[in-house]
């Protein structure tokens, strides 16, 4: 009996911290969540906005550096620069080719250099987000500077959206040529090779409709992002098996 108790304690210490991870999601229909890009060239400054932002982030507020992961997706077709013709050119095959590559995506794989490993109600935390950024069919490893603020649900927060909230603001630069995007010579003075990208969104852990043991996916192909997932032959030893993906 004592041996079984020690084994249970070991399993809890090994997996317990992940059991408190929360899935925060962003509704792409909420136009207040946005991504912005800025191209500041010698003869023209272009600012583009997209409200078609969708995100899912799995994070443990008690230790954000432990197995945080997720995905942030922005619809290219929703980018608006204030000039319809310019927007058409931006989405065209010559530029971002939105028909073939409809989204820009950031796959979050971890957090490091956090000013605090713990998210405290209402306190901003600065951190480096580690992951992969994909646009125009090309994916690159990147690190993004961001600040995160966690708010426990209250009457005040419910005025915005139900649930505990995670507010994220991030900013980074990309070089267009790194992603196979070439600037035509006729507009080289109107478009900067380096584009600044920023995102800001409010995510909630309410009504995610997700399995708390597989918040980033329930398909077998997505188990890698599930901290509780194990091989089928090992399910009996999985402390998260009671909430395993539904058949």
Tens of pLDDT, residues 187-245 = 778 889 999 999 999 999 985 544 444 444 444 444 444 444 444 443 443 434 434 44
Domain covering 18-209: architecture:
Beta Barrel (2.40)
Give which of 209, 193, 211, 165 is closest to 42, Cα–Cα. 193
pTM: 0.75
Contacts for 63-66 with beta carbons within 8 Å, 24 or more apart?
63/17, 63/117, 63/118, 64/111, 64/114, 64/117, 64/118, 64/119, 64/125, 64/127, 64/148, 65/110, 65/111, 65/112, 65/114, 65/117, 66/17, 66/18
pLDDT of 1: 53
- Residue length, the chain? 247
Q: Which residues contact 23 (CB under 8 A, 6 or more apart)?
A: 56, 57, 58, 205, 208, 210, 212, 215, 216
Q: Return the residue matching tokens 């480096």.
A: 128
Query: Among the listed ranges 10-24, 82-96, 182-196, which one has the minimum average pLDDT value?
Result: 10-24
Q: Where in the chain is the domain with CATH 2.40.128.110?
A: 18-209
For 44-69, how does the pLDDT look when each residue is reduced to its tens digit (9 = 90+)?
A: 999 999 988 999 999 999 999 999 99
């Amino acid at each position: 009996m004592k041996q079984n108790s020690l084994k249970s304690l070991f399993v809890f210490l090994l997996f317990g911290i992940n059991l408190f991870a929360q899935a925060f999601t962003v509704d792409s229909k909420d136009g207040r969540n946005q991504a912005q890009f800025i191209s500041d060239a010698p003869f023209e400054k272009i600012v583009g906005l997209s409200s078609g932002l969708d995100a899912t982030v799995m994070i443990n507020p008690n230790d954000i550096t432990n197995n945080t992961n997720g995905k942030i997706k922005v619809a290219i077709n929703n980018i608006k620069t204030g000039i319809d013709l310019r927007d058409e050119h931006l989405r065209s095959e010559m530029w971002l080719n939105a028909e073939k590559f409809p989204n820009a995506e950031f796959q979050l794989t971890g957090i490091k250099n956090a000013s605090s490993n713990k998210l405290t109600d209402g306190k901003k935390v600065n951190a480096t987000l580690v992951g992969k950024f994909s646009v125009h069919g090309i994916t690159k490893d990147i690190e993004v500077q961001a600040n995160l603020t966690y708010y426990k649900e209250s009457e005040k927060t419910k005025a915005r959206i139900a649930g505990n909230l995670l507010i994220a603001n991030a900013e980074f630069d990309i070089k267009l040529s790194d992603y196979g995007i070439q600037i035509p010579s006729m507009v080289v003075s109107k478009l900067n090779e380096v584009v600044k990208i920023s995102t800001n969104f409010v995510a909630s852990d309410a009504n995610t409709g997700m399995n708390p043991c597989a918040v980033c996916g329930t398909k077998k192909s997505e188990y890698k992002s599930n901290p509780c997932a194990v091989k089928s032959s090992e399910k009996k030893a999985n402390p998260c098996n009671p909430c395993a993906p539904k058949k």
